[in-house]
Amino acid sequence: MKLTVNGAVHEVESPPLTTLLAVLREELRITSPKAGCEQGGCGACTVLVAGEARRACLLPLAALDGAEVTTVEGLGTPEQLGRVQEAFLERYAAQCGYCTSGMMMAAEALLRSNPSPSRDEIQTALGGHVCRCTGYVKIIEAVEAAAGGAR
Amino acid sequence: MASEVLLPTSPDQAIAAFGDGAGVTVVGGGTILMPAITYGRLQPEKRLLLLDRSGLSGVTRGDGAVRIGAATPVSELEAGDEPLASVARTVADPEIRGQATVGGNVCATASAGVPRGDLQAPLLALGARVRSAGPQGQPSEPLEDFLASNRAGRLLLEIVYDDVERRAGHASVHRPHAHHYSILSTCATRSGGETRVAVAGAGPVAVRATSVEQALAAGEPAEIAAHKVLDDVDPSDDALASAWYRKRVLPTIVARALARLEKEDA
């Protein structure tokens, strides 16, 4: 099975019904996607698959042969953060950080398809993501800021 | 664990791989089944079919009908016909809707008593028929018959309804969280003078509210007819709501769906 993650092609060996989340974290040691509820309800494991935001905990490896996956590690580098990473940093949109990767991937997917989303559209796009620390306001403001930067 | 995991790349391959369905687990988008497999609550016996590349996805309109492939993502319904579009938009969140399939939703059984097939009610209200494959060939039958039957051994292929002018109304009680299915959902349609009413959340699968439909056909006012819904369902207690609550609320939301239908009619 071939899996392209953040532009690098990997030959993966996990059993076919292993979730993408487990493949990323345990076989490839890419740990930005978090294991939260592991049943699709919290959004912490969200990654991009072919550019679409998807829950890595719900995707079996068998359905992903040849797929292109993007995680937070693929959004930027420590020296050159991506627009969403930069905005989350500037706007204090992370506290404990557990939900942050998923939030950022959802925001990235939104901005790729809709470069100037309204506040309502941002709230809808992040609707499946749970944060237990910040109360969401700073996260939404960060996505607005990232969109502003993209304009 | 399944000895074989197959990814059919055409409907014919999917039908052949499904066979008589014995020991076969079918995964549409995986949003319901993958957590069960990951946690070991579900252990596929023999063969597991992933429908991602099966060609059973897509909505087509032609020859007076709308055809929805079983593996169509729920998100593809959001801009389509009412009341299906409105209900589709209440399912979980955009990411789940991009992955979850119509077929998975229609075939979803109740989990720990909680009904999960939110799309069943709008499809019943649209008068949908389903085509499935199995040992009996590929019968086409009304959705209500499919839902009422033992669906083991049948692979849902497509859902079809007439492409006609119709009015639609929808009302539901739900909490906006990915883990919550609708507590109650009611859909009504009217075309050619016939009103169809369906209810989800008041039993293991959605049902038509035929008593309401008959009362409306007999000329009863919508408010009065809506109360007949309690003759059609027997809700039970579950983690989302008690049977008592559902019985209290249901006539109100049926009336609300009918009022929206009338409003559209005006």
* pLDDT (mean) for B116-121: 92
Count: domains in chain B = 1
**Is domain A2-74 given the CATH code 3.90.1720.10 in the classification?**
no
In whole numbers, what is the pLDDT of chain B averaged over residues? 92
Q: In what order do the strands lie in the sheet with B184-191?
A: B167-173, B184-191, B194-200, B207-208
Nearest CA to B31 among B14, B8, B52? B52
pLDDT, tens digit (0-9, with 9 covering 90-100), for B228-246: 999 999 998 988 899 999 9
ipTM: 0.93
Which pLDDT score is estimated for B175?
Answer: 74
Burial A49-88 (b: 16+ CB within 10 A, else e): beebbbbbbbbbbbbbeebbbbbbbbbeeeeeebbbbbbb
Provide the shortest C-alpha distance from residue B165 to chain A (in Å).
Answer: 30
Cβ neighbours of A124 in B, within 8 Å? 94
Q: In what order do the strands lie in the sheet with B47-50?
A: B4-6, B47-50, B24-27
Residue A110 corresponds to which amino acid?
Answer: L
Which pLDDT score is estimated for B116?
Answer: 84
Confidence of residue B174 (pLDDT cuts 50, 70, 90): confident
In the beta sheet, which residues pair with residue B111? Answer: B114
Nearest CA to B242 among B186, B173, B177, B178? B173
How many CB atoms neighbour CB B100 within 10 A?
A: 25
Provide the shortest C-alpha distance from residue A55 to chain B (in Å).
Answer: 7
Residue B257, SS3? helix
The beta-carbon neighbor of A46 closest among B39, B44, B95 is: B95
The beta-carbon neighbor of B92 closest among A59, A125, A128 is: A128
pLDDT, tens digit (0-9, with 9 covering 90-100), for B10-41: 999 999 999 999 999 999 999 999 999 999 99
Which pLDDT score is estimated for B117?
Answer: 86
Residue ranges of chain A whose pLDDT lies below 50: 151
CA distances from B83 to B86, B182, B257 (A): 6, 15, 10
pLDDT, tens digit (0-9, with 9 covering 90-100), for A3-35: 999 999 999 999 999 999 999 999 999 999 999
Provide the shortest C-alpha distance from residue A36 to chain B (in Å).
Answer: 12
The beta-carbon neighbor of A58 closest among B1, B30, B44 is: B30
Query: Which chain B residue's Cα is nearest to A16?
Result: B5
Which pLDDT score is estimated for B52?
Answer: 86
Q: Among A135-144, B71-80, B110-119, where is mean pLDDT lowest?
A: B110-119
Cβ neighbours of B112 in A, within 8 Å? none
Are the C-beta atoms of residues B81 and B61 closer than 8 Å to each other?
A: no
- B73 secondary structure, DSSP code: B
Provide the shortest C-alpha distance from residue A78 to chain B (in Å).
Answer: 28
Q: Hey, what long-range contacts does A131-135 have (CB within 8 A, 24 or more apart)?
A: A131/A95, A131/A99, A131/A103, A132/A96, A132/A98, A132/A99, A133/A95, A133/A96, A133/A99, A134/A93, A134/A94, A134/A95
Nearest CA to B5 among B56, B46, B53, B54? B46
Confidence of residue B2 (pLDDT cuts 50, 70, 90): low
Kindly tell me if the per-residue pLDDT of B1 is higher than 70. Answer: no
Confidence of residue B115 (pLDDT cuts 50, 70, 90): confident
CB pairs A-B closer than 8 Å = 80
Which pLDDT score is estimated for B198?
Answer: 98
Angle of the A83-90 helix axis to the A100-113 helix axis, nearest 10: 130
The beta-carbon neighbor of B99 closest among A19, A58, A106 is: A58
Confidence of residue B84 (pLDDT cuts 50, 70, 90): very high
Kindly tell me if the per-residue pLDDT of B264 is higher than 70. Answer: no
Interface touch A63/B94, C-beta < 8 Å: no
Q: What whole-number distance in Å separates Cα of residue A9 and Cα of residue B257?
A: 52
The percentage of residues in chain B with a pLDDT greater than 70, rounded to a whole number, is 96
Non-local CB neighbours of A144 within 8 Å, separated by 6+ positions:
A119, A122
How many CB atoms neighbour CB B243 within 10 A?
A: 14
Interface touch B35/A62, C-beta < 8 Å: no
Provide the shortest C-alpha distance from residue B234 to chain A (in Å).
Answer: 29
Question: DSSP per residue over A77-139, as a string?
Answer: -SSS--HHHHHHHHTT--SS-TTHHHHHHHHHHHHHH-SS--HHHHHHHTTT---SSS-SHHH
Range(s) within chain A of domains with CATH label 3.10.20.30: 2-74
**Is domain A83-150 given the CATH code 1.10.150.120 in the classification?**
yes
CATH number at residue B183: 3.30.465.10
Which pLDDT score is estimated for A149?
Answer: 64
Q: Which residues of B sit within 8 Å Cβ distance of A?
A: 1-2, 5, 7, 27, 29-31, 34-35, 37-39, 44, 48, 50, 52-53, 92-96, 98-99, 176-179
Domain limits for position B135: 4-265
Provide the shortest C-alpha distance from residue B116 to chain A (in Å).
Answer: 15
Query: Which chain A residue's Cα is nearest to B181?
Result: A41
Interface touch B37/A17, C-beta < 8 Å: yes
